[in-house]
A and B are shown apart, each in its own frame.
Chain A
Amino acid sequence: MLSAMPRRYELLPVVLAVVALGGCERRQLCNAPDCGTLVDAAIGEPGTLLPASTEEITARDVEEQLFLKLADVGMSMNTIGDEDFQPLLAQKWEWDGPLTLVFHIDPRARWHDGQPVTAVDVAFTYDAYSDSTVASPYRAQLKRLASVTARDSLTAVFRFRERYPEMFYDAVYHMRVLPAHLLRSVPREQWKTAAFGRQPVGDGPYRFVSWQAGQAIELRSDTTFFLGRPGIRRLIWRFTPDLGVAVTQLVADQVDVREQLVTPTMIDRVRTAPQVKLYPFAGNTYTCLAFNLRANGDTSKANPIFGDRELRRALTMAVDRASLVKSTLGDIGKVPPGPMSSLLWIWDPEIRQLPYDTAQAARILNARGWRDHDGDGVRDRDGQPLAFRILVPSTSVLRRQYAQLLQEQYRVIGVHVEIDALDPGALQQRISSGRFDSAILSRSNDPSPSSGITQTWTRGGIGGSNYTRYSSPEFDRLVDRAIAAASRDQARQLWRAAMETINADAPAIFLYSLDNVAGIHRRVADVQIRPDSWAALLRTWRIPPDQQIDRDRVER
């Protein structure tokens, strides 16, 4: 018995090899022109794939392939009027008076279960998105729509409450059309947890195949898609816990796409992988040092430091933003000319900003009575030192680094800064409740300046995401006029004036706007990236037959 044991162990590797080869032998190879598998390293796993109920990034990217909009914004990112929009589910559209927009659904459009897409689906979708029970994150963006009805099976009619330049954008950008015949019977309060959200049936270029919890979501091209067969047959979103793991998988050639590399360190790592090509594109985030204009913990009183406009201007002039960007972000960062990312069409480097001028900053501080009376290196007034704290999320290496650099720049002009690195949840609670001096915050924009800037910097956003509690009637008036401007040129002038107003008031220091860099496998051809959504044009990407590798040819 004992002498037989070693022989059995010797067989173990053989058994494992046979098991592995047995699996391999059953594989067939794909030979069609659209063969190809694209694996994306996604950070985090979505909760649901029901578009009305989620705004998670990975969910949005997958939904982009599953569910169509009526039309979508073009590469110009112009959100005014309708001339730059590309038709998708709507074959065409026309204006029926100043407040009525009529869409004609493409009669070839089908849900993946074979049912035709109709105007009833469009009306149902609007009803769901605007229903408070569904609690869609896009509900607020639809408030200027009065109704959506179905005139006949292929004609959807949108009626607006008022006329404004971004009517078309609001009608098409926020909603993905949903299948009424599959969702009508699902109680609205259960939409977030509906089974449909984990096994969706869409009308887009890709069909849902599987969702392995914690691991991956797989889609397969719809070969009958009415706008043309997608160029790549399989799409897989592989879930990773963080950017480091995602980048490691890209470098090790185990995934094909990492759409945002975020930091120069990660970009340098990816540069070492010969199979990966880098694609820079405009980013949709900006980061600022936001000052709390009300007293820390008591919003009824002005902040003793940041309530003073001149002092805020001095603190802004004391920061060399250009050199900070250069030293920390290199080519992928820019100093934003206001609260905006480079995605927005109102981005204009000529917008007037406060200069970097430490001498002028010191003069202002002296004039306001902030001097170093006791010789300890920190300015003071009436016995109170000029000191404040900066909150940063402990999970962001970049923002922690920025806080340290700001601390040093402020030390030079006699301002004492302490840094508190907090868990994102704790940080969010502190800034929401007004219990902070200042915080380094990142904000993201959709392609329209109207929604993000309004929510974060106007009086209407106080109690919401205007954490600084900045309140300027002049700024609000300019923003309102810019949103209602008749032409793009006029809107641009008004936005510029609004930006110059907020820059002069300095409720925050707009530190950097990150450009995105995507790492994509070199074998992928015809890569087009739309800045607001890298996956929006994925159906046009392809993998030429002579470039295909093993994972492209594997077939069921």
Chain B
Amino acid sequence: MTAWLLRRLAASVAIIFAVVTFVFILIHLAPGDPCIVGTGEGVPDPAVCRSLIRQFALDQPVLVQYWRYLVELAHGNLGYSFALHRPVWDALVDTMPFTLQLAGAALLIDFGLGLALGIYQAWRLNRLPDVVLGNVTLFVYSLPTFWLGLILLLLFGEKLRLFPVGGASDPVLCPLVDSFYCLADRIWHMVLPAVTLGLVGAAGTARFQRAAMLEVAQQDFVRTARAKGLPERRVVLHHQLRNALLSVITRFGLTLPFLLTGAVLVETIFAWPGMGRLTVDAILRRDYAIVTAAALIASSLVVAGSLIADLLLGFADPRIRVHEDAVVDIVTA
């Protein structure tokens, strides 16, 4: 197990390194001068631009810049943001918690609602609720996230005024009152973006879970449980569900990247001050250091999520074990 874990960690580092290298080179090859783009459409004094470009060493060849970046990275320095005029780490520390909060809430909606619906559909198989929910989840699953976000924003924010239409907190009240109010306020602000991000995933999880439940329902041990005269609720929740959850753990690992990439759109629509919005702004302004650091963080989170899912699967299913000499991935074992 330890050897497997070390191998997975080494592979993870290699993946992250590859992603960072790819993004670093790609963003530097993208057309556009960070000095000109970063200051909007006006054209700054060429001497000012030259000075800034020299200051940030942007006049060096890409490979030289890349080597310097790696050296700085090895010392724990993610660089300086050209557009924000501050260390990249400071900008990430400010924004990462918001993205994690949003992704966490979306994950809860995705799996909480998705599992509940999937189980309910399997329990009411081929009856009216199953048919209705099957069509509804298919419809929701086919919705583009940005479109759903805009509709929720216009309906519940602008028209009905039930939720705030942007931001992560009330800038008028929150600075003046205690943190308890701000906590409730944060949750209130998070509802629409989290629902936008989580709802489409929940529809997918529901369909996935329903299928998993039906597959398990054909197994002998489920038939045996029913034959023993156990109540239907106990058969579904204790026998069928526990075994059907294994495939959901795999889905959990696969969902994290979608939540992080989805957050880019949702954060922009809802003015949520997270890493996604920071990254979009940075791409538009050719803020190389922020873009590369965001890729580093995002790929680390995705790799970590995948690793956690694999470990969970190993713990959850006693049939899956990894031997010291096994090279095979747990998920595919």
Residue of A26, A198, A213 touching B177 (CB-CB under 8 A): A26
> Separation in Å of the B278 CB from the closest CB of chain A?
7
Residue of B91, B94, B181 touching A20 (CB-CB under 8 A): B181
Contact B165 A245 (CB under 8 A): yes
Interface of A is mostly: mixed
Residue A367 at the B interface, CB < 8 A?
no
Residue B224 at the A interface, CB < 8 A?
no
Say which one of B41-49, B60-68, B203-211 lies at the interface with A: B41-49
Which chain A residues border B167 with CB–CB below 8 Å? Answer: 215-216, 238, 240
Which chain A residues border B164 with CB–CB below 8 Å? Answer: 252, 254
Residue B95 at the A interface, CB < 8 A?
yes
Contact A22 B86 (CB under 8 A): no
User: Complex formed: what's the CA distance from A551 to B175 in Å?
Assistant: 12
Contact A47 B154 (CB under 8 A): no
Interface residues of A in 171-222 (CB under 8 A from B): 189, 192-193, 197-198, 209-210, 212-216, 218
Residue B24 at the A interface, CB < 8 A?
no
Which chain B residues border A251 with CB–CB below 8 Å? Answer: 158
With A19-B184, A248-B154 as known contacts, state yes or no: A214 contacts B94, CB within 8 Å. Answer: yes
Residue of B40, B42, B180 touching A23 (CB-CB under 8 A): B180
User: Complex formed: what's the CA distance from A216 to B166 in Å?
Assistant: 12
Contact B85 A193 (CB under 8 A): yes
Contact B169 A554 (CB under 8 A): no
User: Complex formed: what's the CA distance from A214 to B94 in Å?
Assistant: 8
7 more A-B contacts (CB under 8 A) besides A39-B172, A424-B284?
A: A37-B172, A47-B86, A135-B52, A424-B37, A425-B285, A426-B31, A554-B176
Which chain A residues border B281 with CB–CB below 8 Å? Answer: 44, 241
Contact B182 A428 (CB under 8 A): no
Contact B45 A430 (CB under 8 A): no
Q: How many residues of chain B are within 8 Å of chain A by beta carbon?
A: 69
Residue of B nearest to A465 (CB): B43
A–B pairs, 11, beta carbons within 8 Å:
A22-B180, A39-B172, A193-B86, A214-B277, A215-B169, A236-B172, A241-B277, A245-B270, A252-B164, A423-B284, A425-B31
Residue of B nearest to A442 (CB): B41
Interface residues of A in 394-427 (CB under 8 A from B): 395, 423-426
Which chain A residues border B166 with CB–CB below 8 Å? Answer: 240, 245, 248-249, 254
Which chain A residues border B270 with CB–CB below 8 Å? Answer: 245
> Separation in Å of the B18 CB from the closest CB of chain A?
25
Contact A24 B181 (CB under 8 A): yes
Residue of B nearest to A256 (CB): B172
Residue A152 at the B interface, CB < 8 A?
no
User: Complex formed: what's the CA distance from A37 to B174 in Å?
Assistant: 13
Which chain B residues border A395 with CB–CB below 8 Å? Answer: 284
Which chain A residues border B187 with CB–CB below 8 Å? Answer: 16
Residue B153 at the A interface, CB < 8 A?
yes
Interface residues of B in 180-230 (CB under 8 A from A): 180-185, 187
